[in-house]
């Protein structure tokens, strides 16, 4: 039995097609924007629209239709690129396009849908900051990311000074006697005359009129 040669098993690859960037990218605004290679391959123009079909795994199918087709998404032009408003579908499908980068690689299939060429949109999900390849369809406005929220400052009313801590209440000490901080001076108790007999004997009350008799 003759063995097939290796060369007979090979098929030339379409280098021109495989080197193209035939894709559509979801922007921050919810637009599905087509790269220039996709615009050229799918022959997108302002007088056409695009019918999009959803698969269960997140991939899409698409066929080109005429402008004004009620079943199709209207093609809109932005510079040299085309896009469709895709925000409502993404939200309905629960696709987190704000924090993820959603890319659809577009391939033309041999299958037909209603007699029209069918395109497969194979979905890829990347982290938002992962720019594996430049995306010229993204406008400067769409590239803007939401700035991180600064940590909340201490809750001091704007323009007001922070409340000063109340100073401890100071108790006036008797004159000339220092009072240790945080202590209350002891209450002064009247002298007991029995404790100092010498002083109490000298402190005799003078009867009325005695002063005058002494003077004589």
Percent above pLDDT 70 for the chain:
59
Report pLDDT digits (tens) over 78-88.
Answer: 888 999 999 99
Taking a C-beta distance cutoff of 8 angstroms, is the pair 51, 26 a contact? no
Q: Answer yes or no: is pLDDT of 209 > 70.
A: no
CA distances from 132 to 93, 95, 101, 135, 186 (A): 25, 20, 10, 9, 82
Report pLDDT digits (tens) over 89-120.
Answer: 999 999 999 999 999 999 999 999 999 999 99
* DSSP-based three-state secondary structure for 29: coil
Q: Answer yes or no: is pLDDT of 141 > 60.
A: no
The DSSP code sequence of 135-172 is: -TTS-HHHHPPPPPPPPPPP---TTPPPPPPPPPPPPP
Complete domains list, the chain, with CATH = 19-140 (2.40.330)
Report pLDDT digits (tens) over 59-68.
Answer: 999 999 999 9
pLDDT at 119: 97
């Amino acid at each position: 039995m003759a063995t097939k040669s290796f060369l007979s098993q090979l098929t030339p690859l379409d280098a021109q097609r495989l080197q193209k960037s035939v894709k559509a990218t979801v922007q921050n605004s919810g637009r599905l924007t087509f790269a220039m290679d996709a615009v050229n391959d799918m022959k997108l123009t302002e007088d056409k629209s695009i019918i999009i079909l959803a698969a269960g795994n997140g991939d899409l199918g698409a066929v080109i239709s005429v402008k004004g087709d009620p079943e199709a998404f209207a093609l809109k032009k932005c510079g040299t690129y085309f896009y469709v408003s895709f925000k409502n579908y993404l939200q309905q499908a629960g696709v987190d396009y704000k924090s993820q980068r959603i890319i659809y690689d577009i391939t033309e299939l041999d299958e037909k849908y209603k007699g029209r060429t069918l395109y497969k949109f194979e979905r890829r999900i990347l982290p938002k900051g992962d720019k594996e390849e430049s995306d010229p369809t993204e406008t400067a406005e769409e590239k803007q990311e939401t700035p991180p929220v600064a940590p909340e400052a201490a809750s001091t009313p704007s323009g007001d000074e922070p409340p000063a801590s109340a100073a401890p209440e100071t108790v006036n000490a008797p004159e000339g006697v220092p009072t240790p901080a945080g202590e209350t001076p002891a209450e002064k108790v009247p002298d007991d005359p029995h404790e100092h007999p010498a002083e109490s004997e000298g402190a005799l009350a003078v009867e009325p009129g005695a002063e005058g008799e002494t003077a004589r």
